[in-house]
Structure 1
Amino acid sequence: MLWYPSLLRQTRSGREFSDLSLPTLITPLQAKDFDVSPLIARAVAAESGNQQDHEDDNASNASNFEEDALDEPSAAADPLDCVDETRPPSSPHDSWEDINDTIPSSCHHKRRRSRSASFSEVVASAEPPHAGPHRQRPAKLHRLTKKHASATQRRKSKRQKIKQASSHVPAASTIHKHVQPAIPLDTGLDTSTLPSAHGAYSAKLKGPAEERHGSKVRCSLANLLGLGFRLVEWDGITPQPLVDSQGRVIAVLAGQPRKDSYRDAVACAYRAICDACSEAQFPPSMRQHRRGLFAAINVGLSYGKGQTKPCWLHNKEYASVVDRLLANEDIGRLAGFADAAFTIWAPLLYAHYRQCNAKLREELPDLRRPFAHSVFFCSAFNFGPNVWTFKHRDVLNLAFGWCAVQALGHFDPKKGGHLVFWDLKLVVKFLAGALILLPSATIAHSNVPVQDGEERASFTQFSAGGIFRYVDNGCWTVDQLAEQDPEEYHRLMALKATRWEKGLDLFSTVDELLLSE
């Protein structure tokens, strides 16, 4: 024995204990060559090993620890060795920290020591942190990462298929988050007076002379305010619905996500559009048209001008440029956000679009939309460097349908880039990255030009009303329907008189949106 207890003492309960004070421990030591300090150092290292996450800086000491290990010289267990590789984490957002937090207690690389353990037992079981030649962390991490990535990719593909099949379905919490705090902007507009064509599959011009006059005028912000327009100082983020005289949401300043990653996507999408513009080298003839003085490419499904069925627009020499834009993940993210905002603010109208999509896919399964996760049939890339539009109506779009407009570029939104709602007498500050949904066929709109030296482009999504007519006709043209099914033809012709009102009924009030939670 190298030490012995001092005189016994008693507690109040009568139990005896000994005092292992330091003088009592050290005094009886008689061996001249015996040094207790290494034993104490090893015991301290063993007890503090759980708090260390590095190799011992003294290589010679580490080798001595290995040589002096007694009955159980095994290395510290690696946490990754305790993870079941055949069962990867259930969430794609799981991190290695999450995995380590769930390691069973039997896999801990240090055992808990009993308070009654003797000094010699502590010394005998001491081992350096992370010691041992059998550590496999790098290889195991590689194998698990590969397995984890494969499982994550499978889950991602599954989610994409579900999204394409069932579209965005907002949760009640999402609706409440965006709709409940939104402050409606009352426009006082009698929506029934908007210029819808008979049948409501398209709109009409209020007067050719008026449209021609207004379509060639460049209006500054000061000009519009002088004409009595109301300026809406929108922050470009917080949603704000525009309601008509009956409280229906007829358009919405949908905003944009607050995430830094979304702002990065907006910037990358704009760079991709700029690169495509440089590659395309558009001729001057493409930079002068009814909507403005900038090059634009429409991509997606078209129907009209004698077509017997909807078909994909042919972009000729610009097809490769368009394909790259459609494949761009950042542009796809913008398209997906517009689709999600659409289903939040106009769920009945959105369902009408989905129903039309489903019927068209049954009849023409080879057709596709520009973006599988967006309900719109067509998209437009409006190339800079200075995109602003004349006053116009997109009369071939569905009369009561919505168009998604997203601004891009680098400009001062206080001085230019505003979206003008002519029928509402509103001028809305329109920041880069922001989204606005509006019935572009029936409400005349335009932009305030940005300042010299600034850059602006835009990305829009829309759906031609003719495609809805084609689907309502049983995927026939009007002439084919009259020939193949005269009874159905007359029934549908009778419905034309009320289709505009039924279309307006697809708009929701704010209260109805909150009830849909």
Structure 2
Amino acid sequence: PIVDSEKRVCAVYGGIPDTPNFMRDVHDPAVEAMEIARAQASLSESRLYHRRGNWASLTTGATHGTGRDEPGDFVNGIINTAVILALVSNTAFIDLAEFGSGLFSIWAPHLFQFYIDYMGSFYLKNPKLQRPFVNSIWSACTFNLGPRTCAFGHRDFANLAYGWCAITALGTFDYMKGGHLILWDCKLILEFPPGCTILIPSAAIFHSNTRIAEHETRYSFTQYTAGALFRWVERGFRSEKDYFATLTAEEIEEERKLGLERAAAGAALFSTLDEMKAGWV
């Protein structure tokens, strides 16, 4: 685990699942599925060139914001929806999704329960929306189809400010020479081998990857939940605009003050090493 100054677990180097033949039975089929998806997908410039880097990507799951009056699914079109359906029904990604979610539940149990409570309410209110994977807590995922997925420095500001994101590296590359995960705020550079999963609060920590060689391939599979979905629940299943329209000027000012308190309360959901050790005894 990676801990902050108060010994709270704020990120986890989850590694590779300790299961027999993981690379052969899970990693390699996931890579093959990514390559097929890239060949079949309809990739516009916005899917190839974006603020995180220059590679193909497909995203699915629930989202909110960007002019929407209420939460809905990412719009992908007929071709890409079919490609995504093949990916989320692939047993390799089902296994990877479960592994990431399991790590989350172990290393951040209070935060994980927060997701259960809020997203449980969210999906009860929005039964037409579904998680990409029934065995994973997150409400959205992105398949970064490469062929050389190495992220520019960024924060995923649309995610829950203190929420965790699972990142799984895939491909054929020398992880000792490239593909490292740089956590700039933590002043850490982590080797990130194929098949490995790392969990970070991606909205809070500025992060990027080092480059890989031209002849190598690197893909990634990420899982996360938009902060707007939590706010939708907290606002009584209303948009920010509709919610603030019901408030007085004094109440609006109070809401702004509460913003910082909510961030602190969110960080308090991180478990300390002492709590983790006590739970393992």
Q: Which of the numbers 217, 237, 240 marks the counterpart of 1:455?
A: 217
Deviation per CA, 1:77-119: give whole Å up to 9, x if none. xxxxxxxxxxxxxxxxxxxxxxxxxxxxxxxxxxxxxxxxxxx
Judged with a 3 Å threshold, the aligned counterparts in structure 2 of structure 1 residues 452 and 478 are, in CA distance, closer, same or farther, namely closer
Counterpart of 1:415? 177
- Map 1:101-140; keep pairs closer than 5 Å: none
1:444 aligns with 2:206: yes
- Map 1:116-515; keep pairs closer than 5 Å: 241-263=1-23, 264-280=25-41, 282-283=43-44, 286-316=47-77, 317-483=79-245, 495-515=258-278
Offset, 1:284:
5.1
Q: Are the equivalent residues in 1 in contact too, given 2:42–2:80 (CA < 8 A)?
A: no
Offset, 1:404:
0.5
CA distance in 1 between partners of 2:186 and 2:244 (Å): 40
Identity among equivalent positions (%) equals 38
Paired residue type of 2:5: S
Offset, 1:496:
2.1
Paired residue type of 1:271: E
Offset, 1:315:
0.4
SS of match in other structure, 1:252? strand
* Higher-RCO chain (CA-CA 8 Å, sequence separation at least 6): 2
CA distance in 1 between partners of 2:44 and 2:233 (Å): 37
Paired residue type of 1:502: A
Paired residue type of 2:30: A
From the CA coordinates, give the structure whose radius of gyration is larger: 1
Deviation per CA, 1:458-496: give whole Å up to 9, x if none. 000111111111111111113333456779x66755532
CA distance in 2 between partners of 1:470 and 1:430 (Å): 35
CA distance in 1 between partners of 2:73 and 2:153 (Å): 28
Q: Are the equivalent residues in 1 in contact too, given 2:60–2:84 (CA < 8 A)?
A: yes
CA distance in 2 between partners of 1:358 and 1:285 (Å): 32
Offset, 1:285:
5.2
TM (normalized to structure 1)? 0.51
CA distance in 1 between partners of 2:203 and 2:218 (Å): 23
Task: Give the total of aligned pairs.
Answer: 276
Counterpart of 1:57? none
CA distance in 2 between partners of 1:493 and 1:354 (Å): 26
Judged with a 3 Å threshold, the aligned counterparts in structure 2 of structure 1 residues 283 and 496 are, in CA distance, closer, same or farther, namely closer
Paired residue type of 1:274: E
CA distance in 2 between partners of 1:486 and 1:376 (Å): 34
Gapped regions of structure 1 (runs ≥ 5): 1-240
Paired residue type of 1:282: L
TM (normalized to structure 2)? 0.93
RMSD, matched Cα: 1.8
Judged with a 3 Å threshold, the aligned counterparts in structure 2 of structure 1 residues 495 and 281 are, in CA distance, closer, same or farther, namely closer
Offset, 1:258:
2.1
SS of match in other structure, 1:516? helix
- Where has structure 1 moved over 6 Å in runs of 4 or more? none
Q: Are the equivalent residues in 1 in contact too, given 2:47–2:58 (CA < 8 A)?
A: no
Relative to total residues, which structure has the larger strand share, 1 or 2? 2
Deviation per CA, 1:48-104: give whole Å up to 9, x if none. xxxxxxxxxxxxxxxxxxxxxxxxxxxxxxxxxxxxxxxxxxxxxxxxxxxxxxxxx
Deviation per CA, 1:324-351: give whole Å up to 9, x if none. 1111111110000000000000001111
